[in-house]
Amino acid sequence: MTLTIQFQTMLSMVGMGIWLGMAIDTYGRFVHEKRKWNWLHFINDIFFWVLQGLIVFYVLLHVNHAEIRFYIFVALLCGFSAYKALFQNVYKRLLETVISMIITLYRFVAKMVSAFLIRPVKWLIMLIIALLLSVAKVTWKILLFILKLLASPFKWLGLLIWRFIPKQKWYNVKEKWLKKAGILISLKNKVKNWFRK
């Protein structure tokens, strides 16, 4: 390995050390530590460290064809220490700013979608339902009127027949009907009380 490649490897590993510090802080910001140990947290940690190892290996593969030397680990440690000493506070503030900007943008987009898409569709659906109910109400009234017109000859025929029925028979039929009607009314009241309860 030439001196140029060694120098490039050192610089790359210092940069990867800084990257590792940033990745650890970002991971800690989004995946909060839990007091109670659980499998999901353990699996997340394993995936995180495997991914970071693959990224470091990929960079090392492009710089010096993945030749591992002792100074590579020293350079990683130096980069990580430099990040902790110089860049950590700045990066954390920048990360919080970016997160708050993304949250603000998301809320703005959600409000715009709600104002220009969801609310108009909601009002349109409510208007259609109101129109359908109005049409159904008018149709029902027209049907009732037609039924009354159709039933009126039967009504007049019934009145005509009633005049020819003897009074005594009418009173017997009426008495039987009132008894049945009383049973139906009491049953109806029981059902109403049950629904109220």
Whole-number Å distance between alpha carbons of 94 and 35: 28
What pLDDT band is residue 168 in, cutting at 50, 70 and 90?
low
Mean pLDDT of 173-182: 64
Most confident of 36-45, 60-69, 120-129: 120-129
Summarize the confidence of residues 34-57 as an average pLDDT: 84
Residue 74 scores a pLDDT above 60? yes
Give the contacts of 14 (CB within 8 A, at least 6 positions apart): 75, 76, 78, 79, 82
- Angle at which helices 88-113 and 3-30 pack, to 10 degrees? 50
User: Over the Cα atoms of the chain, what is R_g?
Assistant: 42
